Chain A
């Protein structure tokens, strides 16, 4: 007995396709994705679509549509600048996680870290990642600088971007150093004591600078609060501005430097 249905029930696949079409035709979808975005018009591999991927997304702020062929060679840059930036993002993410469990006071700080490590899910892992990531970022920034020097990439027209880079290296060191105090253990306290004692020898205004940074003549709870604010707000704010200028200049100065 063959009964032919005039209107067969749509299959799951057809329903999914219909739902997809409805969603992509909706106003919300079109409001989110720009005209020409591959999420609006679909993607098939063609030179034009390859351009649209960059041109119609936020990535256009960071990358041009095309780059020099040698610029994508890993053996040329070793990805060091990009990795420094990526580590900064990782550090921001793990750092925000740590902030939920940390109070910057002399009485609570060390105990908070202890609790974070022993009773918070993934607390120890996050703290480890933040610490090792920070050391890695100092290292990668430093290696990035060496790479740029050995390639002569600081030469005209990139002189000023090199200067920005030196500022970024200094800021990275300062970020790492201010973070060093926050666990408020013996290692942190005395490492920072050694470091800030050196600062006090700056001629003319050395002791004043030290006083402002420590919030007193000796390291104490006030220092902890100050360095905490420096570490989580002020220095990240400043470094982001300098990074924005750094990345913008990379593009304006004609992409990364040419092959040797």
Chain B
């Protein structure tokens, strides 16, 4: 004989005890029943009218073979031939979509677009690289500091901030805060709508954020000359390498 694991035995015993307890206190069991009150009342009323065939007059009229006295074999307590196990609200099992989504096949509709986009991108990059050479200056020399020394363009906004603030603020605190603000954006923005007219505040804030960095990068790139002093590109030329 297979040995039943101990924890299963314990669980079965606990269930049996609970069933015994429930049987001992039927009032309590009825108390936490999930059967809606009006259904309980209806079944109580039916029981009062008389036994198993009190479902409805129509039913008894059709099922003439059912004996009016005496219970069918296998009837439950109170003479019911059926028992209501539970009432399930329709929403919880059947999930119906509110509206069908208008869809197209990925092939060819999406793949063709992606293919063309990647071809165009390759062609552009190839042609641009054919005509414009990447800069290569003299070999690195620790003894010759070029004037001005500039960071890559995407960090020029930070370098521009360095002229205004302490390095701790410009190089660490502000970019760190920028990143944290970006990460938190979806959790701060509690507005569920994605319609532009509903989110003027957020779009203007983000535009401000973008403009702030764009202006700094442009000033750092084109308006800073030797010694990282302010210049005009049309007066002194451009001090900028990609």
Docked-complex contact A189 and B140, CB < 8 angstroms: yes
Docked-complex contact A69 and B102, CB < 8 angstroms: yes
B125 is contacted by which of A51, A136, A176 (Cβ under 8 Å)? A136
Closest to B133 in A: A128
Taking A155-B192, A198-B162, A201-B168 as contacts, is the C-beta distance between A149 and B206 under 8 angstroms?
Answer: yes
The distance from the CB of B10 to the nearest CB of chain A, in whole angstroms, is: 40
Within 8 A of B (CB), among A68-85: 68-72, 74, 79, 82-83
| Chain A contacts for B152, CB-based, 8 A | 176-177, 180, 191, 195
Interface segment among B37-45, B56-64, B177-185: the answer is: B177-185
A241 at the binding interface (Cβ < 8 Å): no
A52 to B63, CA, bound (A): 54
Taking A187-B241, A201-B172 as contacts, is the C-beta distance between A110 and B139 under 8 angstroms?
Answer: yes
| Chain B contacts for A124, CB-based, 8 A | 133
Docked-complex contact A195 and B107, CB < 8 angstroms: no
A111 to B136, CA, bound (A): 11
| Chain A contacts for B137, CB-based, 8 A | 185-187
* Range of interface residues on A (Cβ < 8 Å): 35 or more
A239 at the binding interface (Cβ < 8 Å): no
Docked-complex contact B103 and A69, CB < 8 angstroms: yes
Interface segment among B73-81, B111-119, B230-238: the answer is: B111-119
Closest to B209 in A: A149
| Chain B contacts for A170, CB-based, 8 A | 179
B126 at the binding interface (Cβ < 8 Å): yes
The distance from the CB of B163 to the nearest CB of chain A, in whole angstroms, is: 12
The distance from the CB of A117 to the nearest CB of chain B, in whole angstroms, is: 7
A214 at the binding interface (Cβ < 8 Å): no
Interface segment among A6-14, A26-34, A59-67, A228-236: the answer is: A59-67
| Chain B contacts for A177, CB-based, 8 A | 152, 155
Docked-complex contact B155 and A195, CB < 8 angstroms: yes
Q: Looking at chain A's contact residues, is the secondary structure mostly helix, strand, loop, or mixed? A: helix
| Chain B contacts for A74, CB-based, 8 A | 113, 117
B107 is contacted by which of A54, A111, A149 (Cβ under 8 Å)? A54
A42 at the binding interface (Cβ < 8 Å): no
B138 at the binding interface (Cβ < 8 Å): yes
| Chain A contacts for B139, CB-based, 8 A | 110-111, 184-186
A131 at the binding interface (Cβ < 8 Å): yes
Closest to A189 in B: B140
Docked-complex contact B118 and A86, CB < 8 angstroms: yes
A5 at the binding interface (Cβ < 8 Å): no
Docked-complex contact A53 and B107, CB < 8 angstroms: yes
Interface segment among A17-25, A156-164, A242-250: the answer is: A156-164
| Chain A contacts for B134, CB-based, 8 A | 127-128, 130-132
Taking A54-B107, A83-B121, A87-B121 as contacts, is the C-beta distance between A113 and B186 under 8 angstroms?
Answer: no
Docked-complex contact A153 and B136, CB < 8 angstroms: no
A151 to B186, CA, bound (A): 12
B108 at the binding interface (Cβ < 8 Å): yes
| Chain A contacts for B192, CB-based, 8 A | 155-156
A194 to B151, CA, bound (A): 6
A125 to B187, CA, bound (A): 45
Docked-complex contact B113 and A72, CB < 8 angstroms: yes
Docked-complex contact B117 and A67, CB < 8 angstroms: no
With a 10 A CB-CB cut-off, give which of A65, A72, A162 has the most chain B CB atoms.
Answer: A72
User: What are the 9 closest A-B residue pairs judged by CB atoms, nearest first?
Assistant: A152-B194, A198-B171, A128-B129, A159-B186, A131-B134, A190-B149, A189-B140, A110-B139, A53-B107
12 A-B pairs (CB sep. < 8 Å): A65-B106, A87-B121, A124-B133, A149-B203, A154-B186, A156-B192, A177-B155, A187-B137, A194-B150, A198-B159, A198-B172, A218-B142
Chain B residues within 8 Å of A, Cβ to Cβ: 101-111, 113-114, 117-118, 121-122, 125-126, 128-130, 132-142, 144-146, 149-155, 158-159, 162, 166-168, 170-172, 179, 182-183, 185-187, 189, 191-196, 199, 202-203, 206, 210, 241-242
Question: What would 14 more interface pairs be, CB under 8 Å, given A67-B109, A185-B139, A191-B149?
Answer: A54-B107, A66-B105, A69-B103, A69-B104, A82-B117, A90-B125, A125-B126, A132-B132, A145-B182, A146-B210, A154-B186, A156-B186, A186-B141, A194-B155
